[in-house]
Amino acid sequence: MRERLIVAFLALALGIIALYGVPRIIMVADLVHASENQYADRMAGMVAAVIDDRDEPVDEAFLASLLTEGESVEYRPADGDAVRAGSTPVGNDITRSSDVSAGGAVAFTRSGEVVAERVTTAIAPVIVIGIGLLVVSAVVAVLLARSLSRPFLRIVETVRQIGRGNLQPSPEPLRIPEAKAIDAALRDSAATLERRIRREHEFAANASHQLRTPITALRLELEDLSLWPETAPAVREQLDHAVREIDRLADAISQLLEFARGGTPGSGTFEPLHDSLRAAASRWNAQAGASGRRIRVSASGSALGDAPAAASQILDVLLHNAIAHGRGDITVSGERRSEYVTVQVADQGPRPSGNQIFQRRPEQRSATSGEGIGLALSAELAESLGGHLLLEGAPTTTFSLILPAR
């Protein structure tokens, strides 16, 4: 902005100087030429008058005494040879003639170099004034640009503070009305954003608290039920499985709460990736089998290493998406590549067009179904873990989860 203001101001000043200076220079040059022409006319008449009054013969020495530097004169009598004094005329000299009463004529010449020197001397002040005005304009342009851009630079710093999380930046004294309006709008937006974030955090904390209480009560009831002597071993096994799933649900709620607060859930907890893939497939085998489909796990065991524990949440979303929207059998595979591990969840259904499935579009979803949020949330969770969730370009639906491995 500052550079553009300086350039604009200098361009305006240069245009004004040119509009004033160029016509002025032309006018001064024309006045000098007119003055020189009048001088040559007067000198020609004066020399002719002096020759008329002279009784002695006109010679070169007499004519030379009437001249100054850069002048020449030629006397052409009615009878006899012409007499000349001074420099030889060239093409750009000014020459004027005058008749002598006794007969003959006088040609007076003013050197073009002398005329050009007088023109230069006359227009030099105009040029000096123009250069001085341009220098002054440059200084004023720099000072004015700094003065005009300073409030907007303060607004930029305010925006940076808001971007760093300070939604109540310190007030800045601004004098330009437009800058004041922009600053006020930014602070209003920051205040609105702060209120919304606070409400979301409060909602997340309240929801987490309200969910944990019944979940804890349900877990205790299931544990108590599994300890009854009347409980059959098969039922006890299912109850233990339900307790583990409730623990996973509690962990998921804690991770979502941490994610809502801007943290990275599960980033410090690692677990064997091969076990996570097997456990995820086991959890969803029943739903897949109900629709006549299978989940196959293709992984290289311990070679995969460990991955963040929160990856199991992403695997659940991908498997649920494959069961709900895909076709045919589902394949879960993992591959270790240097410091990263890639997990692919593929089915035989056609690939969705574009990557809009990773975008939150609540206006296209019902308010209670929750559809359309899982993949977007999984993509955000993968990025918070230092990885990435993408949709491969294969003809069939294939999701790749890339995560840092330990």
Q: What tokens does 23 get? A: 């016509």
Alpha helices in 164-272 (DSSP H): 177-226, 233-260
Determine the pLDDT at residue 365.
Answer: 44
CA distances (Å), 23 to each of 16, 19, 26, 31, 64, in order?
A: 12, 7, 5, 12, 39
CA distances (Å), 313 to each of 214, 219, 304, in order?
A: 21, 20, 18
Determine the pLDDT at residue 369.
Answer: 39
What stretches in the chain show pLDDT beneath 50? 363-371
Q: Using an 8 Å Cβ cutoff, are 270 and 304 in contact?
A: no
Determine the pLDDT at residue 41.
Answer: 92
Determine the pLDDT at residue 301.
Answer: 60
- Chain position carrying tokens 């955090």: 201
Determine the pLDDT at residue 368.
Answer: 38
Nearest to 309 by CA among 247, 399, 371, 356: 247
Determine the pLDDT at residue 370.
Answer: 41
Sign of CA dihedral 64, 65, 69, 71: negative
Task: Name the pTM for this structure.
Answer: 0.47
Q: pLDDT tens digits, residue range 259-269?
A: 666 555 555 67
Q: Using an 8 Å Cβ cutoff, are 4 and 144 in contact?
A: no
- Chain position carrying tokens 């692919």: 344
